[in-house]
Copies of this chain bind each other. A is one copy, B any other.
Amino acid sequence: MASMKDVAQEAGVSIGTVSGVLNGKKTIKPQNYRRVMDAVQKLDYRPNMLARSLRTNITGSIGLIIPDITNPYYPELARGVEDMARKAGVTLFLCNSDRDVDKEWGYAQALAQKQVDGIIIAKPHISLEQLNMLRRKCRIVLVDGTAEQLGEFDLVNVDNRSGAASAIDLLLSYGHRKIAFVGGIIESQSMQDRLDAYRSVLEKSGIPYRPEWVKECNYSWHSGRAAALELLKAPGPHPTAFFVGNDIMALGVVRGIHDCGLRVPEDVSVCGFDDIAMAELAFPALTTVRQPKYEIGCQSAQLLLERICGVQQGDIVHRVLETAVVLRKTVSWAPQS
């Protein structure tokens, strides 16, 4: 592959001059400029970014680590990051950790070793200590995270409490009193917040909190379906509504309800969280709490980019975005009983 030396030779100038024209330094004699450009063209020369980065200490690339590429939530977020990165002319390296701490840490280190300028981690599973080691090598922005991480890192997030509260309010307004919560693993602050809101809105309405109606699942469709089955087949009264921590699980819950011979929403209502594309396409279309996934991606990229170029300095910053309830077909009036 052609190197700068080849170009210099072809153009009959020094490699310093070639570097000059390629980096847009003003002071180049027009004649030399042309010669260099011609040589570049002729040799199809592209600068070796490795060498450039080694010298300048900036690579113009950032990493994004997501926990689950299979959940449509993350690809949408990724597109936000990607679009901002593109606009800034930096390339994005996308890594999928499968919710596995070791993979996540492995990717984080690989990225750091490749000298990316910064890393966005969605729902970090690695420890605070690891995060801090990482921070010494490049900028970090978190999307979601545990309570202890919140205090120390730049982060963009959604207002989970108010999002969940709106969902519960909606269910209450349709006359539901027996509302179950199917959550993801309660390790991230956001899931905790949704649970807290669920509980406090219920209690504020004079409805006692029933721990047996709170299920901790693993974010998968199957775990959602299993939770619904379990709750609906238990002896005693069953919930007439489910508030579910993400849409994938909510879709599983809907199926579980059907599999029990009950109808959605006539017999049981379901409200999800996220508003992935599938929510709209499903039948019945899923009522849910929309997260501005794309926006979250944009904002986190922007924040990271600002840190990298030094526009954003000093204290940690948290950007909190709003959610919105999306009314579709899976929530209706509580059945008379």
Contact = CB atoms under 8 A, between A and B. Distances in A.
Interface of A: 1, 44, 46-51, 53-54, 59, 61, 69-70, 72, 75-76, 78-79, 82, 86, 91-96, 103, 106-107, 109-110, 112-115, 133, 136-137, 221, 251-252, 255, 258, 277-278, 281-283
B114 A91 contact: yes
Nearest to A110: B91
Nearest to A251: B281
A91 B95 CA distance: 9
A75 B69 contact: yes
A70 B75 contact: yes
Contacts of A54: 48, 50-51, 54
Contacts of A61: 114
26 contacts: A44-B133, A49-B113, A49-B114, A49-B115, A50-B50, A50-B53, A50-B59, A50-B114, A50-B115, A51-B54, A54-B54, A61-B114, A69-B75, A70-B277, A75-B75, A78-B96, A79-B96, A82-B96, A91-B95, A91-B107, A91-B110, A92-B95, A93-B94, A94-B95, A252-B281, A258-B283
Q: Which 4 A-B pairs have the closest CB atoms?
A: A94-B94, A49-B113, A69-B75, A91-B110
Contact of A136 (B1, B82, B282): B1
Contacts of A46: 109, 112-113, 137
- Chain A facing B: main interface SS: helix
Contacts of A278: 278
A250 to B, nearest CB: 12
Contact of A72 (B70, B109, B252, B255): B70
Query: Taking the full assembly, how many copies of this chain does it contain?
Result: 2
Contacts of A106: 86
A59 B75 CA distance: 26
Given A1-B136, A51-B54, A114-B91, A255 B277 contact: no
A82 B106 CA distance: 13
A271 B53 CA distance: 51
A220 to B, nearest CB: 10
Given A75-B70, A78-B69, A79-B69, A48 B93 contact: no
Contacts of A113: 46-49
Contacts of A91: 95, 107, 110, 114
A77 to B, nearest CB: 11
A118 to B, nearest CB: 14
